[in-house]
Amino acid sequence: MLNFDYYNPTHIVFGKGRIAQLDTLLSKDARVLVLYGGSSAQKTGTLDEVRKALGDRTYFEFGGIEPNPSYETLMKAVEQVKQEKVDFLLAVGGGSVIDGTKFVAAAVPYEGEPWEILETDGKKIKEALPVGTVLTLPATGSEMNRNSVVTRKSIKSKRGFHNDHVFPVFSILDPTKVYTLPPRQLANGVVDSFIHITEQYLTYPVDGMVQDEFAEGLLRTLIKIGPELLKDQKNYDLAANFMWTATLALNGLIGAGVPQDWATHMIGHELTAAFGIDHGRTLAIILPSLLQNQREAKKGKLLQYAKNVWHIDQGSDDERIDAAIEKTRHFFELLGIPTHLKDYDVGEESIDMLVKELEAHGMSQLGEHKAITPEVSRAILLASL
Ligand code: NZQ
Ligand code: ZN
């Protein structure tokens, strides 16, 4: 096992009806800004639940954070926070709203131009406003991690940053919020959390026994409940298991002490920035061809994945690996997610541009061995057509 530090200060408040708990989680004299996305939080009644729980506290609202939150929109929230002297940010939404809120939290006290936060991976952040979240879409794990991804529309750049100061202080996870998700977002969430796990598991063996067992259990859970939940979306137990699995997939626990990949994510971000393809879908396109391309480097873990996740124990090593990759692709398709670039009207003529963008963003040594050069990314993209 590799050396590691593990730190996670987020207080999880899990279960039906837990939004009312906001009253005890927030101090009476907090000046709160409630940040949300488009119309879903209003339509589903979540925003009203939040308003009721805030009671007679002083609070303001900022709506309109887009999926793949934009720097341009978030800078308007930064202005509002400064004007109203807000001292607590409450995100009500999915990964986009939570990520956007983390950016606002870091940008308000930031010395210098806030886009630098994205250019420097958050390394220069010295402080941030406290953030709490009410999660409405299980997928990203943002509710219990130190990551955020922001898009600057004017230059079509989607970048991430990481910093301990933006861990949410608390996150309220009410599984009934899953009931109103459009099936497409639900499917995206299953795939996103699945690939968060593979990014930390499908690398090379370091005898991280607990991490491996944990990752395999989470993957098997998603394989079981993903399709069931799509057919029976208001099943509380399925929704609760999905919500907690998605959080555990990216709260740092399974990635501690093991190598990590993240190449699928980095290539996927370019597809979202260039063509607006949903995050989860970009991953479903890239992962199967990346696994094929990296099958030698990942051989040990791919065989373990075939056996322990897909119960494949027949055939040669190559046959088992092929079967595991095929089952992975089939699982995404079963959820209603097409897995080829052509399904999204992206053709070979776009590959050069995508590879150039990866290079421009410093994504020239991706993967657990830093072996995915721009030329390897090109081969993976070509195989994804
Ligand atoms: O905008 P509204 O109207 O609220 O609708 C949203 C949005 O259109 C809707 N929605 C959310 N909860 C709902 C709901 N509709 C009905 N009922 C509900 N309960 O769902 C749509 C998508 O929401 P979004 O927040 O964009 O989705 P997701 O949670 O998948 O977040 C994606 C973003 O997270 C980033 C992605 O890159 C992308 O920008 N990621 C963040 C990570 C992190 N912080 O660790 C890791 C991930 O790998 C990912 O990169
Ligand atoms: Zn993701």
CB of residue 96 inside a 6 A radius of ligand 1? yes
Confidence at residue 348, expressed as pLDDT on a 0 to 100 scale: 98
What is the CA(366)–ligand 1 centre distance, in A? 25
Mean pLDDT of 289-295: 98
What is the CA(35)–ligand 1 centre distance, in A? 13
Q: What six digits make up the tokens of 106?
A: 């870091």
Q: CATH 3.40.50.1970: does it fit domain 11-176?
A: yes
Confidence at residue 39, expressed as pLDDT on a 0 to 100 scale: 96
CB 357 within 8 A of CB 249: no
Task: Record the pTM.
Answer: 0.97
Mean pLDDT of 283-303: 98
pLDDT digits (tens, 9 = 90+) for 133-155: 999 999 999 999 999 999 999 99
High-pLDDT (> 70) share of the chain, %:
100
Q: Which ligand is nearest to the CA of 272?
A: 1
Confidence at residue 313, expressed as pLDDT on a 0 to 100 scale: 95
Summary mean pLDDT of the chain:
98
Q: Residue 63: name the closest of 36, 83, 81 by CA.
A: 36
Confidence at residue 347, expressed as pLDDT on a 0 to 100 scale: 98
Which residue's C-alpha comes closest to atom 26 of ligand 1?
Answer: 67
First to last CA, the chain: 37
- Angle in degrees, 0-180, between the axes of helices 263-275 and 183-201, rounded to the nearest 10: 150
Mean pLDDT of 344-358: 98
Q: How many CB atoms are located within 10 Å of the residue 250 CB?
A: 25
Mean pLDDT of 31-40: 98
CB of residue 281 inside a 6 A radius of ligand 1? no
Q: Which residues contact 6 (CB under 8 A, 6 or more apart)?
A: 252, 253, 256
Which residue's C-alpha comes closest to atom 20 of ligand 1?
Answer: 185
Strand, helix or coil for residue 234: coil
What is the CA(202)–ligand 2 centre distance, in A? 15
13: phi then psi, degrees, rounded to nearest 5: -115, 100
Mean pLDDT of 186-207: 98
CB of residue 198 inside a 6 A radius of ligand 1? no
CB of residue 101 inside a 6 A radius of ligand 1? no
Confidence at residue 129, expressed as pLDDT on a 0 to 100 scale: 98
E strands present in the chain:
11-14, 31-36, 58-62, 88-93, 131-135, 147-152, 157-162, 170-173
Mean pLDDT of 115-139: 98
Domain 11-176 and domain 183-383 have a common topology: no
Confidence at residue 85, expressed as pLDDT on a 0 to 100 scale: 98
Q: Which ligand is nearest to the CA of 284?
A: 2
Q: For every residue of 165-233, which 3-state class applies, written as one string?
A: HHCCCEEEECHHHHHHCCHHHHHHHHHHHHHHHHHHHCCCCCCCHHHHHHHHHHHHHHHHHHHHHHHCC
CB of residue 185 inside a 6 A radius of ligand 1? yes
What is the CA(296)–ligand 1 centre distance, in A? 34
CB of residue 268 inside a 6 A radius of ligand 1? no
Q: Which ligand is nearest to the CA of 63?
A: 1
Q: How many CB atoms are located within 10 Å of the residue 17 CB?
A: 9
Q: Which residues contact 134 (CB under 8 A, 6 or more apart)?
A: 19, 22, 46, 50, 90, 91, 92, 93, 171, 172, 174
Closest ligand 1 atom to Cα of 189: 30
CB of residue 351 inside a 6 A radius of ligand 1? no
Angle at 326 between CA 325 and CA 332, to 5 degrees: 95
pLDDT digits (tens, 9 = 90+) for 198-253: 999 999 999 999 999 999 999 999 999 999 999 999 999 999 999 999 999 999 99
Pocket test for ligand 1, best of 47, 140, 161, 229 (most atoms within 8 A of CB): 140
What is the CA(172)–ligand 2 centre distance, in A? 20
> Which CATH architecture is the domain 183-383 placed in?
Up-down Bundle (1.20)
**Helix, strand and coil percent figures for the chain, each rounded to 5:** 55, 10, 35
Q: Residue 334: name the closest of 201, 229, 248 by CA.
A: 229
Q: What six digits make up the tokens of 334?
A: 């079963």
Confidence at residue 84, expressed as pLDDT on a 0 to 100 scale: 98
pLDDT digits (tens, 9 = 90+) for 55-114: 999 999 999 999 999 999 999 999 999 999 999 999 999 999 999 999 999 999 999 999
Domain ranges of the chain: 11-176, 183-383
